[in-house]
Structure 1
Amino acid sequence: MFPEFPQELVDEVIDHLWDDVTALRACSLSCSTWLPTSRTHLFRQVDLRDAAACARFTKLLEASPVLVQYIRKLSIDAHHFSYDLSSLRNGDSTWLPLVPPLLGALPRVTELEMTSLNWRTLQLDPKHTELFYSMLGNVKRLALVNVHFESSSDVLNILSAAKLVTELHLDRIYWNCWSWPMPDVLSETEEMTHCGYLQRIVLRSGSPPNAITDWLLATGSMLDLREVQVHWRERDSTKALGALVRASGPRLERLYLELTNGVATQAAANGDLDLAHLTGLRAVYFDGLVLPDCCEWITSMTAQLHSDRLEMIEVSLLARWQDDLRAIDWVQLDKTLAHERFACVTLIFKVNLAIYNANNQDDAGDIVRSALPGFRGTLVVKYT
């Protein structure tokens, strides 16, 4: 006879199997007391990628309605714009109108991902639109990746409904026309609701990103962000980028900026980016910079870092020739980095050299290492 273990101990053991589907299935069939904890992990995430998966999931819920209480994450991939998967791009989309009713039937979903989706294929009628927006009110992590909308109001309606979201990913979001949100989804007490709990945001290129930043900043108050990842391509919208960074405030801990040369130089010329007030920063990433055009931008942005909590700076550079590294004002950069606030910082230079016989990784590394004698932190040079 096996000894009886406290249920708390059994639950903890099963929790350690969270990523072992075979073991979890075996546990779920062992006894009734093991079933709830096993289901917590087995059904935490549901991926719908085609008609067959949607049909299986629908039948499963019909047979066991109790499973809805275990589902926390729902991922939908329609493959409408999956250009690397041409065999799936023109696949069956008849299952997508079944998604809105499913979303409305999953009240405990807190993570929602929608990928490669043409929004109109959901065929949202008034009833299912209301259910969908109601469900969004519980979502804390929202990711829209390569989703094409009819109107910008569709996007802003979604953001307004997801008022509890703490993590927001908007990656290649497009719309055919600009319009304001529909009145029937707005709050009764205010013109538009905003993501007041938002702590992490990822913005990648798509339809005019200033539409998103304008919405986020519409209240005129500081955001409570801890992490900002921005992949910015629009050189005529650098003011919107600067406004987002400024509104992030002293609570921001991680900042990732991937900018093209045109955006970086335009932002520098206009004075749109100001990092000096981000006094809570722990890690900063500068990416997408091509030498020799961004030399001045690198030194000026580094000089704006005044956080006493800073632990890491990572600079990713693309250089055609190794001698392009000499174009950086290393004297000024070394003067900045010699300050005591950088004494405990790890500085990482990721140098991406073009493949030419004249380029030598070791020589490139020597250029960087010898140029910063005053820096007292940890210097790391990587090559790709």
Structure 2
Amino acid sequence: MAEALPSQTQANLRLPIEVHERIIDAIFDDRYSLVLDALAMLSSCALVCRAWRPRAQRILFEYVLLRDKDALFRLAELINASPELGTYVRKLALRGYLHVPYSLVVLFLTALRGKLPNLSVLNIQGFDDEERAANPPPEAQKELPTLPIHPYFPSLVKSISHIHSLSLVAVKFPSFGDFARFLAALPNLTDLFCLRVSWAVDRNQHVWRSVTPATLARRSCRISRSSRTMPWMGRAGRDCCPR
């Protein structure tokens, strides 16, 4: 019986839970090439034991990466079952095929409406050519020329008006007016990053006539008429546009 009991030395080798939590904290890495492995490892940590679950879940849901509508609906169901998980989300990334009928850019605004009160950073990024080759779309999924946004889209964007940082990469809006209204619905935005952002324009429409909302005008953004692509990069309100 005495031999079956752990010795005092063995008992003292157990690490405090705070040390475990610091190790779990170090797992996460939001760099594009590493984030998927980090999220998978955190998911495993959450299943190891009850002591690890709260910390692993808090970090796991701090950065949420969604690639398709199925992942979005699974997340929505999970948060509906455990609403506290939605309070953990600080960064949300939408990556994949965005110019499709069931675009994540549009769907997440309704599926997660009111469920992410602490969301601060939103990253929207379409697939590049290499990713398209590695991830072909389903046969039944038709890719559209632009984001499938509708007249009520700006009012839906107001549900995330509290975010402070927005990144747009490889995104095409139906018109400059749609793009402008999207930004105008985010009054608390302080950081803006745009790369390969463009819009489709009907040449018969005078899209440049006073479509810039007052919030954009105050940012003194100057846009060339000769190009419909704006490689913006910087802090909104100060140097978001080339001068």
Query: Structure 2: where are the runs of 5+ without partners?
Result: 1-5, 30-37, 127-143, 202-206
Distance 1:106 1:6, change over 3 A: same
Answer whether contact 2:166 2:191 (CA < 8 A) is retained: yes
The residue correspondences of 1:172-321 to structure 2 (distance < 5 A) are: 172-176=197-201, 177-178=207-208, 180=210, 191-192=214-215, 207=228, 209=230, 223=238, 241-242=242-243
Identity of aligned residues (%): 26
Distance 1:207 1:130, change over 3 A: same
The residue correspondences of 1:283-362 to structure 2 (distance < 5 A) are: none
The residue aligned with 2:47 is: 29
Q: Superposition RMSD on alpha carbons, in Å?
A: 4.0
The residue aligned with 2:155 is: 130
- CA drift of 1:208 comes to 6.0
The residue correspondences of 1:149-168 to structure 2 (distance < 5 A) are: 149-168=173-192
- CA drift of 1:158 comes to 2.8
Answer whether contact 1:162 1:195 (CA < 8 A) is retained: no
Question: What secondary structure does 1:121 align onto?
Answer: coil
- CA drift of 1:206 comes to 5.8
Which of the numbers 88, 92, 100 marks the counterpart of 1:70? 88
- CA drift of 1:160 comes to 2.9
The answer as to 2:78 corresponding to 1:60 is yes
The answer as to 2:165 corresponding to 1:141 is yes
1:148 corresponds to which letter in structure 2? K
- CA drift of 1:68 comes to 0.7
Answer whether contact 1:49 1:76 (CA < 8 A) is retained: yes
For 1:79 and 1:112, how far apart are their aligned partners in 2? 16
- CA drift of 1:73 comes to 1.9
The residue aligned with 2:28 is: 18
The residue aligned with 2:130 is: none
For 2:74 and 2:215, how far apart are their aligned partners in 1? 38
Number of residue pairs aligned between Structure 1 and Structure 2: 194
Answer whether contact 1:100 1:122 (CA < 8 A) is retained: no
The residue aligned with 1:110 is: 120
Please tell me whether Structure 1 or Structure 2 has the larger radius of gyration of its CA atoms. Answer: 1
- Residue deviations 1:331-355 (CA, integer Å, cap 9, x gap): xxxxxxxxxxxxxxxxxxxxxxxxx
Larger displacement relative to structure 2 (29-38 or 65-74): 29-38
TM-score (norm 1): 0.41
Q: Could you say which structure has the greater relative contact order, defined with CA pairs below 8 angstroms and 6 or more residues apart?
A: 2
1:113 corresponds to which letter in structure 2? N
- CA drift of 1:142 comes to 0.9
- CA drift of 1:180 comes to 4.2
The residue aligned with 2:148 is: 121
- CA drift of 1:26 comes to 4.0
- CA drift of 1:72 comes to 1.8
Question: What secondary structure does 1:46 align onto?
Answer: strand
TM-score (norm 2): 0.60
The answer as to 2:101 corresponding to 1:93 is yes
- CA drift of 1:16 comes to 1.5
- CA drift of 1:8 comes to 4.3
The residue aligned with 2:129 is: none
- CA drift of 1:66 comes to 1.9
- CA drift of 1:6 comes to 5.6
For 2:92 and 2:218, how far apart are their aligned partners in 1? 20
- CA drift of 1:32 comes to 3.9
2:83 corresponds to which letter in structure 1? P
Which of the numbers 49, 61, 68 marks the counterpart of 1:50? 68
Distance 1:38 1:80, change over 3 A: closer
Distance 1:195 1:56, change over 3 A: farther
Distance 1:151 1:23, change over 3 A: closer
Answer whether contact 1:109 1:139 (CA < 8 A) is retained: yes
For 1:118 and 1:99, how far apart are their aligned partners in 2? 20
